[in-house]
Amino acid sequence: MGHHAPLLLLDVVRAGGLLVTSPAWTWRDLAALLSPDELVAAGDSLLRRRDAPNRGGYLSQPDPLCGMQELQEVLQRRAGNRGASTARTALELMRPGADSAQETRLRLLIRRSGLPEPAVNQWIIGPAGQRVSRPDLQYVRLRIALEYEGEHHLLDPDQWHRDIARDDGLRRLGWVVLRFSKKHLRPGNQAAAAEKVRAALLTRGWRPGQPA
């Protein structure tokens, strides 16, 4: 069933030859349908970095599809609509830079486990000033990198080779590299995945209650 909404010009964009609601407005609509974690993942997808991998499909807009300010503005205008509480909760947990929903889910799992929140997709610079790697998540001071390995990494031999070289380069610089797959994010495996991160943090000198 359709519904009427007081749209402004900035709330409408063209995609695939059709007029559709803007990314920010659509995200706010989804707040009435999705769980907080799902809405965070959807929001992180809007905030991807400018040089993120190509999305494909008919969406011609470059990343990021919108900014935090646009999302906050739409949320304020629609504060009385269904899903407002979910949207406010999700907005506080969203972070720019994630490449995939699974990276977001891993970050939320770490946070929910009482561990320090890692940084998202930041370049690691080598001793000669060269860019070495940009892990999905990382603890910069402790030199811990976390990589989520999607299935395409295993199916593409060239990508798999690059991943191995990437991790070898980080280890030569003294970094610990933790790798995760979709099985780590399943309910029965989440506690072990969080413990994997906790153990690495403790090994590097972190103590509960301290920043990482």
User: Is 2's pLDDT higher than 60?
Assistant: no
- Between 156 and 153, where is the model more confident? 156
The span from the CA of 72 to the CA of 67, in Å, is 9
Instruction: Provide the pLDDT confidence category of residue 65 given band limits of 50, 70 and 90.
Output: very high
Q: Alpha carbon of 145 to those of 30, 178, 185: distances in Å?
A: 32, 6, 17
Percent of the chain with pLDDT over 70: 93
Average pLDDT over residues 91-120: 96
Burial of 119: CB neighbours in 10 Å, binned 0-12, 13-18, 19+: middle
The SS3 call for residue 7 is: coil
- Stated pTM of the model: 0.90
Average pLDDT over the chain, rounded to an integer: 91
pLDDT, position 7: 86
pLDDT of 141 reads 95
Output Rg (C-alpha) for the chain, integer angstroms: 19
Query: What are the pLDDT digits (tens) for 182-197?
Result: 999 999 999 999 999 9
Residue ranges of domains in the chain, CATH in brackets: 9-93 (no CATH), 101-203 (3.40.960.10)
Strands 144-148 and 137-139: antiparallel
- DSSP-derived letter for residue 37 is H
User: Which pLDDT value is given to residue 3?
Assistant: 56
Q: Which two three-digit tokens encode residue 119? A: 């940084």
